[in-house]
Amino acid sequence: MDIKQEYLSAAYPESAKKAAGGNVRAVFANPLAQIALVGVVLALVQFLALGGMISSAFAYALGNTLIYAIVAIGFCLLLGYSGLASLGTAGFIGLGSYVAFYLIEGMGAPYYVALFVTLAVSIALGVIVGFISLRIEGIYLAIMTLALAEIIRSLLMVLKATIKININNIVLFGVNVNEKAVYLLITATFIILMALTSNLIRSPVGRAMLAMKDSTSAAQAMGISLMKYRLLAFVISTIYAAMGGLLYMMYVRNMTTATSTLLTLSTSLNILGAVIIGGAKSLWGTTFGTFIIYGLQSMFLSKIRFFVENPAFITMITGLLIIVVVMFFPGGFAQMLSSLRLWLRRKRVERRIRDYVGNES
Amino acid sequence: MSATRAERRLLEKARRLRIEIGMLEAARELQIEKAAAKKAARSAERARAAGRELAEKSFEKLGADEIRRAITEKRLREENERYAALRKEILLSGYLLSDKDNEALADAHTARLERIRENTAAELSELSNPAQGQLPIPTVDEPEETSSAEAIRARFDEQISQARKRLREVERRLESGAASTERTELEEGLVLSVKELKMYFGGVKAVDGLSFDVREGEIFGLIGPNGAGKTTVFNCITQFYKPTGGKLLFRGRENEVLDLTKEKVHDVILHGIVRTFQNVEVVPELTVLENLLIAGHRQYSSGIAASALHLPKLRREEEIIRRKAEKVLQFMGLTAFSGAYAFGLPYGILKKIEIARTLMCSPRLIILDEPAAGLNDAETAELASLIRRIRDEYRCTILLVEHDMGLVMDVCDRICAISFGKLLAFGTPEEIQTDPNVQQAYLGVEEDDDGTA
Amino acid sequence: MCVTALAAFAVTIIFRTSTTANFAQGAISAFGCYVVADLLNKKGVPVYLGVFGGILVGVAIGVFIDLLVFRKGRHVNELGKQIITMGFVSLFFGGIPLIFGTPERIPFEAFYNTVKAKTSPNFVIPAMGGEIVITKHALICLGITVVILAVLFLLLKFSKWGLGVRATASSEFTAELMGIDTHVITAISWALACGLGVLAAVMYAGGGTSISAGFMTTIQVNAFLACILGGFSTFYGPVIGAVLIPLAASCVGFLANFKGFYGISRWQMVIVYVLLLIAILIKPEGLFGKKTVKKV
Nearest to A349 among B67, B93, B298 (CB): B93
Interface test with C, best of A154, A157, A217, A226 (most C CBs within 10 A): A154
Question: CA A302, A306, A308, A311: dihedral to nearest 10 degrees?
Answer: -110
Report residue B1's pLDDT band, with 50, 70 and 90 as the boundaries. very low
Across the interface, do B277 and C293 touch by the CB < 8 Å criterion?
no
Of the candidates A71, A101, A117, A115, the one whose C-alpha atom is nearest the C-alpha of residue A162 is: A101
Judge contact between A289 and A277, C-beta under 8 A.
yes
**Average pLDDT, rounded, for chain A:** 84
Question: Which helix H or strand E contains B437, and what residues bound it?
Answer: helix B436-443
Q: Distance (Å, rounded) from C-alpha A59 to C-alpha A65?
A: 10
Q: Quick one: closest CA in B to A212, which residue?
A: B283
Q: For residue C112, is pLDDT > 80?
A: no
Shortest distance, CA B369 to any CA of chain C (angstroms): 11
Q: Where are the alpha helices (DSSP H) in chain C?
A: 2-18, 25-38, 47-65, 78-100, 109-117, 136-158, 160-170, 172-177, 182-206, 217-230, 236-255, 268-282
Nearest to A221 among B70, B274, B284 (CB): B274
- CA C122 vs. chain centroid, Å, equals 25
Q: Would you give the DSSP letter of residue A100?
A: H
pLDDT at residue number A55: 82
Across the interface, do C296 and B231 touch by the CB < 8 Å criterion?
yes
Report residue C130's pLDDT band, with 50, 70 and 90 as the boundaries. low
Q: For residue B267, is pLDDT > 90?
A: no
Helix (H, G, I), strand (E, B) or coil at B201: strand
How many other C-beta atoms lie within 10 A of the C-beta of residue B452?
A: 7
Nearest to A7 among B71, B101, B284 (CB): B71
Q: Distance (Å, rounded) from C-alpha B85 to C-alpha C110?
A: 77
How many other C-beta atoms lie within 10 A of the C-beta of residue C59?
A: 20
Which residues on C lie below 8 Å from A138 (Cβ)?
A: 78
Report residue C136's pLDDT band, with 50, 70 and 90 as the boundaries. low
Q: What is the mean pLDDT of residues B237-247?
A: 88
Q: Distance (Å, rounded) from C-alpha C20 to C-alpha C165?
A: 15
Report residue A93's pLDDT band, with 50, 70 and 90 as the boundaries. very high
Shortest distance, CA A280 to any CA of chain C (angstroms): 11
Q: What is the mean pLDDT of residues C85-107?
A: 72
Q: For residue C115, is pLDDT > 70?
A: no
Which residues on C lie below 8 Å from A141 (Cβ)?
A: none
Identity of the residue numbered A301: L
Shortest distance, CA C287 to any CA of chain B (angstroms): 19
Interface test with A, best of C19, C220, C224 (most A CBs within 10 A): C224
Across the interface, do A356 and B108 touch by the CB < 8 Å criterion?
yes
Q: Distance (Å, rounded) from C-alpha A21 to C-alpha A39?
A: 24
The string of pLDDT tens digits covering residues B366-414 is 999 888 888 888 888 899 999 999 999 998 999 998 888 888 888 999 9
Nearest to A316 among C84, C95, C294 (CB): C95
Proportion of chain A in helix, strand, coil states, percent, rounded to 5: 80, 5, 15
**Percentage of chain C modeled with pLDDT above 70:** 78
pLDDT at residue number B150: 80
Q: Distance (Å, rounded) from C-alpha A275 to C-alpha A273?
A: 5
More confident site: C165 or C265: C165
Nearest to A222 among B44, B269, B300 (CB): B269
Interface test with A, best of B23, B260, B274, B285 (most A CBs within 10 A): B285
pLDDT at residue number B449: 42
Helix (H, G, I), strand (E, B) or coil at A242: helix
Q: For residue B142, is pLDDT > 70?
A: no
- CA A137 vs. chain centroid, Å, equals 23
Query: Poorest-confidence range of A214-223, B388-397, C261-270?
Result: C261-270
Helix (H, G, I), strand (E, B) or coil at A313: helix
Shortest distance, CA C157 to any CA of chain A (angstroms): 26
Answer whether residue B17 is part of any domain.
no
Q: Distance (Å, rounded) from C-alpha C195 to C-alpha C101?
A: 23
Cβ-based interface (< 8 Å): residues of A facing C: 79, 85, 132, 135-136, 138-140, 142-144, 146-148, 150-151, 154-155, 158, 217, 264-266, 269, 272-273, 276, 310, 312-323, 326-327, 330
**Percentage of chain B modeled with pLDDT above 70:** 92
Across the interface, do A85 and C90 touch by the CB < 8 Å criterion?
no
Interface test with A, best of C61, C83, C224 (most A CBs within 10 A): C83
Judge contact between A71 and A271, C-beta under 8 A.
yes
In order of A135, A215, A226, B54, B344, the CA distances from A208 in angstroms are: 20, 11, 9, 56, 21
Which residues on C lie below 8 Å from A132 (Cβ)?
A: 277, 281
Residues 218-247 of C with CB under 8 A from A: 221, 224-225, 227-228, 232
Answer whether residue B186 is part of any domain.
no
Interface test with C, best of A125, A323, A325 (most C CBs within 10 A): A323
Q: Would you give the DSSP letter of residue C290?
A: -
Which residues on B lie below 8 Å from A202 (Cβ)?
A: 310
Answer whether residue B427 is part of any domain.
yes
Q: Does C97 touch chain A (CB under 8 A)?
A: yes
Answer whether residue B219 is part of any domain.
yes
Q: Distance (Å, rounded) from C-alpha A139 to C-alpha C79?
A: 8
Across the interface, do C296 and B201 touch by the CB < 8 Å criterion?
no
State the pTM of this model.
0.85
Across the interface, do A326 and C273 touch by the CB < 8 Å criterion?
no
Report residue A179's pLDDT band, with 50, 70 and 90 as the boundaries. confident
Answer whether residue B11 is part of any domain.
no
Q: Does B86 touch chain A (CB under 8 A)?
A: yes
**Winning range, highest mean pLDDT, from A11-25, A87-101, C57-71, C262-276:** A87-101
Q: How many CB pairs under 8 A join A and B?
A: 162
Task: Catalogue all structural domains in chain A, each as residue range(s) with its CATH number.
Answer: 30-306 (1.10.3470)
- Kindly give, in sequence order, each residue whose CB lies less than 8 Å from that of residue C227, ignoring residues fewer than 6 positions away: A143, C8, C11, C12, C15, C237, C238, C241
The string of pLDDT tens digits covering residues A237-289 is 999 999 999 999 888 877 776 667 778 777 888 888 888 888 888 899 999 99
Across the interface, do B240 and C293 touch by the CB < 8 Å criterion?
no
Question: Which domain, by its residues, includes B291?
Answer: 191-443
**Average pLDDT, rounded, for chain B:** 84
pLDDT at residue number C242: 84
Answer whether residue B154 is part of any domain.
no
pLDDT at residue number A284: 92
Question: What is the DSSP secondary-structure string of A246-290?
Answer: HHHHHHH-EEETTT-GGGSHHHHHHHHHHHHHH-TT-HHHHHHHH
In order of C47, C200, C210, C215, C218, the CA distances from C205 in angstroms are: 14, 8, 7, 9, 13
Q: CA neighbours within 13 Å on the CB side: how many for B256? A: 29
Name chain C's partners: 3 or more CB pairs within 8 A.
A, B
Judge contact between B268 and B186, C-beta under 8 A.
no
Q: What is the mean pLDDT of residues A127-149?
A: 86
Q: For residue A85, is pLDDT > 90?
A: no
Q: Distance (Å, rounded) from C-alpha B313 to C-alpha C201?
A: 60
**Average pLDDT, rounded, for chain C:** 76
What is the distance between the terminal CA atoms of chain B, rounded to a whole angstrom? 39
Which residues on A lie below 8 Å from B53 (Cβ)?
A: none
Q: Does B295 touch chain A (CB under 8 A)?
A: yes
Q: For residue C103, is pLDDT > 80?
A: no
Q: What is the mean pLDDT of residues C159-169?
A: 81
Q: Does B232 touch chain A (CB under 8 A)?
A: no
Q: Does B277 touch chain C (CB under 8 A)?
A: yes
- Beta strand B190-201 pairing with B365-369: unpaired
Shortest distance, CA A269 to any CA of chain C (angstroms): 7
Q: Quick one: closest CA in C to A309, which residue?
A: C102
pLDDT at residue number B450: 43
Which residues on B lie below 8 Å from C290 (Cβ)?
A: none
- CA C235 vs. chain centroid, Å, equals 13
The string of pLDDT tens digits covering residues B418-439 is 888 888 888 888 888 888 888 7
Interface pTM, i.e. ipTM: 0.84
Q: What is the mean pLDDT of residues C248-261?
A: 73
Answer whether residue B349 is part of any domain.
yes
Q: Does B232 touch chain C (CB under 8 A)?
A: no
pLDDT at residue number B347: 87
pLDDT at residue number B325: 93
Q: Does C293 touch chain B (CB under 8 A)?
A: yes
Residues 57-86 of B with CB under 8 A from C: none
More confident site: C172 or A294: A294
Q: How many domains does chain B have?
A: 1
The string of pLDDT tens digits covering residues A318-347 is 788 888 888 888 788 888 888 898 889 888
Name chain B's partners: 3 or more CB pairs within 8 A.
A, C
Q: How many CB pairs under 8 A join B and C?
A: 5
Answer whether residue B415 is part of any domain.
yes
Question: CA C161, C167, C173, C179: dihedral to nearest 10 degrees?
Answer: -50
More confident site: C178 or B447: C178
Report residue C261's pLDDT band, with 50, 70 and 90 as the boundaries. low
CATH code at position B379? 3.40.50.300
Q: Quick one: closest CA in C to A314, which residue?
A: C94
Q: Distance (Å, rounded) from C-alpha B220 to C-alpha B427?
A: 10
Across the interface, do C91 and A323 touch by the CB < 8 Å criterion?
yes
Q: Does B48 touch chain A (CB under 8 A)?
A: yes
